Amino acid sequence: MEHASMSLEQICAKIGDLDQASGELAKQRLERLTKPPGSLGRLETLVIQLAEITGQPLPRIFPPGIAVFAGDHGIVAEGVSAFPQEVTGQMVRNFAAGGAAINVFARQIGAKLDITDVGTAADLSEVEGVRQRKVREGTGNFAREDAMSRQEAVEAIAAGIESAARLIEEGAECIIPGEMGIGNTTSSTAIAAVITGRSTEELTGAGTGLNPDARKRKAALIQRALEARKPDPADALDIISKIGGLEIAAMTGAILAAAARRKPVLLDGFICGVAAVLAVKLASGVRGYLIAGHRSQEPGHEAVLEWLGLEPLLDLQLRLGEGSGAAVAYPLLESAVRMLAEMATFESAGISGASSPS
Ligand SMILES: Cc1cc2ncn([C@H]3O[C@H](COP(=O)(O)O)[C@@H](O)[C@H]3O)c2cc1C
Ligand SMILES: O=C(O)c1cccnc1
């Protein structure tokens, strides 16, 4: 478990450049496969990226590992979610029992699901299959106080590093970060506003299902909270400690740890995208290791994707989280990888190449 005990600085320093040579070999093979050049579109660019990430001309991405983190949010006291705080802990029990959406999709794609309580307000110590890394019992209400200390932010990131490192140690070739935390679209919207500079009115969505009036109040509350907290846009740890979430910080750690081990990170929706932005802020080299699984219905996600420079694979109008959209997108990575590895070449199949200049 080499990386589980590495510090944040060490993990960031370990993130290497993409392997252009492996990407080039993948590209050359793509050109020889029995299809018009470029005709498999984004599956082609995807497999080139996977070769660059893994350093393997024929990349391996199976099995995937899903690292789910749960944390509570003090800001729910302001009425920013359609659901009560206790749902976070209740859903963690549901994850452990195998009944949540992410459990279904994890089984479908052959992924191991690693569940960590990084900061719920519930006592989940007796729940089998839930790792206890509780940094604190939910964040502070960032409309009134900092969400957590800088040290707590580092501890939550470390819990995420540990989870991804463990999954990779156990064989995972691709990491999908997921989360559960009632109120976390509020924290994520605040972070997205700080990073992108866009207005909270533009970025704020309905989350679990707020009505239009409640959504407007949520946007105004986030705006006031940002004026009070004044996070430094250049300092990811300052952002996390003032307005972040424990599970968001842990996802950031998981993303960093995956990149440090040259594993592709398949991103879920809005919350996960925000965690990826924070990871890029901590180590800019992470960017090339990211693949956006889908476009969430939360309006802030579009701004986050734009900031990351990513075009999502799917748009299924999802707005769930948990890692669900990434898990649903994972089979596309398998298609890309299998296409490169298993298709015949023009030479091997005895098929004539293009007759007119391309
Ligand atoms: C039953 C249930 C299961 C969920 N699974 C993910 N979320 C998602 O919704 C929450 C964020 O939305 P908001 O900021 O509006 O509270 C997060 O927990 C997220 O993972 C869920 C929400 C609910 C209610
Ligand atoms: O896109 C997401 O990650 C999301 C959207 C709504 C609620 N929870 C998560």
Global ipTM: 0.99
Locate 228 and state its tokens. Answer: 């009070």
Query: Given phi > 0 = left and psi -120 to 50 = alpha, else beta, which region is 56?
Result: beta
The average pLDDT across 40-66 equals: 98
The average pLDDT across 265-269 equals: 99
- Atom of ligand 1 at shortest distance to CA of 82? 15
Confidence of residue 3 (pLDDT cuts 50, 70, 90): low
Name the residue with the closest Cα to ligand 1, atom 10: 182
The average pLDDT across 119-146 equals: 98
Confidence of residue 101 (pLDDT cuts 50, 70, 90): very high
Q: Give catalytic residues, as residue numbers.
A: 322
**pLDDT at residue number 4:** 64
**Least confident residue range of 5-14, 29-38, 269-278, 335-344:** 5-14
**pLDDT at residue number 332:** 99
Residue type, 358: S
The yes or no reply on domain 8-59+339-349 and CATH 1.10.1610.10 is yes
| Residues in CB range of 298: below 8 A, 6 or more apart | 185, 188, 189, 205, 207, 269, 270, 319
**How far is ligand 1, taken at its centre, from the CA of residue 182, in Å?**
5
Q: What percent of the chain has pLDDT over 70?
A: 98
- Atom of ligand 1 at shortest distance to CA of 90? 1
Please give the radius of gyration of the chain, using alpha carbons only, rounded to the nearest integer: 20
Q: Does 178 contact ligand 2 (Cβ within 6 A)?
A: no
Among 72, 182, 217, say which to mutate for ligand 1: greatest number of ligand atoms within 8 Å of CB. 182
Locate 136 and state its tokens. Answer: 């604190």
Per-residue pLDDT at 2 exceeds 60: no
Rounded Cα distance between 235 and 188, Å, is: 16
**How far is ligand 2, taken at its centre, from the CA of residue 51, in Å?**
30
CB-count exposure of residue 76 (10 Å: 0-12, 13-18, 19+): buried
**pLDDT 10s digits, 34-43:** 999 999 999 9
How much is the mean pLDDT over the chain? 97
Among 185, 266, 324, say which to mutate for ligand 2: greatest number of ligand atoms within 8 Å of CB. 185
Q: 70 with 88: CB under 8 angstroms?
A: yes
Per-residue pLDDT at 1 exceeds 90: no
Per-residue pLDDT at 113 exceeds 60: yes
Q: Does 88 contact ligand 2 (Cβ within 6 A)?
A: no
Rounded Cα distance between 95 and 174, Å, is: 20
**How far is ligand 2, taken at its centre, from the CA of residue 298, in Å?**
7
Q: 349 with 34: CB under 8 angstroms?
A: yes
Locate 256 and state its tokens. Answer: 């960093």
Rounded Cα distance between 202 and 193, Å, is: 9
Q: What percent of the chain has pLDDT over 90?
A: 96
E strand intervals along the chain? 64-71, 112-119, 130-132, 174-180, 265-267, 290-292
**pLDDT at residue number 7:** 85
DSSP string, 42-54: HHHHHHHHHHHHH
**pLDDT at residue number 356:** 79
CATH of 64-333, one of 3.40.50.10210, 3.40.50.1100, 3.40.50.2300, 1.10.760.10: 3.40.50.10210
**Least confident residue range of 154-158, 177-181, 350-354:** 350-354
Locate 119 and state its tokens. Answer: 């900061």
3-state secondary structure 176-215: EEEEECCCHHHHHHHHHHHHHCCCHHHHCCCCCCCCHHHH
Per-residue pLDDT at 52 exceeds 70: yes
**How far is ligand 1, taken at its centre, from the CA of residue 76, in Å?**
12
The average pLDDT across 182-204 equals: 98
Q: What are the boundaries of each domain within the chain?
A: 8-59+339-349, 64-333
